[in-house]
Amino acid sequence: MKRISVLILLCLSTLASLACERVGKRVLLYPSVDQFGEPVTLSGMISWPQKKQPKGIILLPHFTIFANSEAPSQNGTGEEKNFQKDFVLIMPDYIGYGATSERVHPYLDGELTARNCIDMALHAMPILDSLQLRIPKDSIYIVGYSQGGAAAVWILKTIEERYADRIHVKKCFAGSGPHDVAATYDEGVQNNRILMPVTIPLLIKGTDAAYALNLYEEHFFTPEMQEIYEREMVKKEKTFGELFIQTINFELSHWLTAKGMDKNDPETHRLYQGFLRSSLVHYPLDTLADNKPDSLLLNLAEDRVIPTWEPRTPMLVFHSTNDNVVTFRCAENLHRRYADNPYITWDFGEYGDHLSSSNRFFKLVREQLLESHKSQKSRK
């Protein structure tokens, strides 16, 4: 009898704990624009802790997904679990998922992604006010890893340049982002290696969709890649794990044609110009040790992208030096441009591969956010 009573108490304790951690969720539909500047209705998810006052708001652009079921408005990516007990989360789906799942996702189009994410944040604010959550308006953070890490920097850039009077960001956390899409392609071609071949269709079809290049996929996809894309990826039903096991051949030339690996080819050159447009910063591979001062301008003719934007908001840029998916060169090139910016903190080290280092990143971000809230609370 005593044993049963203990078990009942344990069950009640567990249920009470779960109740305390209850999270409210709401799918949002909101107006934005697509890559052609046309109106589009997008979707996303907001969540908030129901049993405690939120410690702030996080705009959380997600990492790369393949199945529509992984979109935030559907089942989510799992990133939200790091923060949803303590923070309000604003989680956009991106064009190509959720309400627009029939469209091609304009993968890594930083300007468009930033605009879509900001539009959701602006749409969400009155709704959050109606929930009477009493969230400080100066406690908005941007957090993203991988694709979301690059998006986080683009979002901060866009807010500072166009929305500074409407959104105040306290800090941006950018983890292992492909800030230099062109260099990622260059390094993959140079080494004839890609660890995640399933990203090839996303990158080529997404860049094509983003900038209306009207490319022919047969020019770039080998028959093996073409078959997997048409059979497994168009419907957006398979997750990354399901697709990965079908593409365990890490030689880039197995998936990308010889013409697709030659940026002097006219069609590939047009694609490469799209990669440059998607890059926040870009330096050619053979200029990493070049110490000549950079002219602060956008110069696609010389295959360089050097932004004039100077961040004025605290930002953490995190990247594992032995990342095996998003080359560390992306972080190196970002550091090359912004090494002297006093608002940016750089966290580089041998933190493991792309997936394992994500755990370190999210743990670090959560600790910093909770410590910041604690310090802010003690000063009141």
Q: Write the DSSP string, 320-371.
A: ETT-SSS-THHHHHHHHHHTT-TTEEEEEE---SHHHHHHHHHHHHHHHHHH
Using the predicted structure, report yes or no on whether residue 58 has a pLDDT greater than 50.
yes
In a 3-state reduction of DSSP, which class is residue 82?
helix
pLDDT at 138: 67
- pLDDT per residue as tens digits for the range 158-208: 999 999 999 999 999 999 999 999 999 999 999 999 999 999 999 999 999
- pLDDT per residue as tens digits for the range 214-223: 999 999 999 9
Using the predicted structure, report yes or no on whether residue 296 has a pLDDT greater than 70.
no
Using the predicted structure, report yes or no on whether residue 210 has a pLDDT greater than 60.
yes
Closest residue by Cα to residue 243 from 94, 44, 43, 70:
70
Question: Which residues have CB under 8 Å from 342's CB, separation 6+?
Answer: none
The CA angle 94-66-197, to the nearest 5 degrees, is 125
Average pLDDT along the chain: 89
Alpha-carbon gap, residue 189 to 26, rounded angstroms: 43
Residue 380: pLDDT band with limits 50, 70, 90: low
Residue 21: pLDDT band with limits 50, 70, 90: low
In single-letter form, the type of residue at position 344 comes to I
Tokens 């107006």 belong to residue: 31
Alpha-carbon gap, residue 337 to 293, rounded angstroms: 10
User: Could you tell me the CA-to-CA distances from 164 to 118, 141, 156, 161, 336 in Å, in that order?
Assistant: 11, 14, 10, 7, 26
Q: Write the DSSP string, 16-80.
A: HHHHHT-EEEEEEEEEEE-TTS-EEEEEEEEEEESSS----EEE-------SGGGSTTTT--SGG
Token duo for residue 196 = 């995640």
Which CATH superfamily includes the segment(s) 24-179+306-379?
Alpha/Beta hydrolase fold, catalytic domain (3.40.50.1820)
Residue 309: pLDDT band with limits 50, 70, 90: very high
Average pLDDT over residues 322-337: 96
pLDDT at 374: 79
In a 3-state reduction of DSSP, which class is residue 144?
strand
Question: Which residues have CB under 8 Å from 78's CB, separation 6+?
Answer: none
In a 3-state reduction of DSSP, which class is residue 4?
helix
Alpha-carbon gap, residue 89 to 142, rounded angstroms: 10
Token duo for residue 46 = 């907001």
Alpha-carbon gap, residue 349 to 138, rounded angstroms: 31
In a 3-state reduction of DSSP, which class is residue 11?
helix
Average pLDDT over residues 240-248: 87
Residue 269: pLDDT band with limits 50, 70, 90: very high
pTM of the model: 0.90
Q: Which long-range contacts (CB under 8 A, 24 or more apart) does 238-244 make?
A: 238/66, 238/67, 239/65, 239/66, 239/67, 239/69, 239/70, 240/64, 240/65, 240/66, 240/67, 240/70, 240/196, 240/198, 242/67, 243/66, 243/198, 244/196, 244/198
Closest residue by Cα to residue 99 from 124, 76, 121, 73:
73
Closest residue by Cα to residue 48 from 76, 82, 86:
86
What is the residue extent of each domain of the chain?
Answer: 24-179+306-379, 181-304
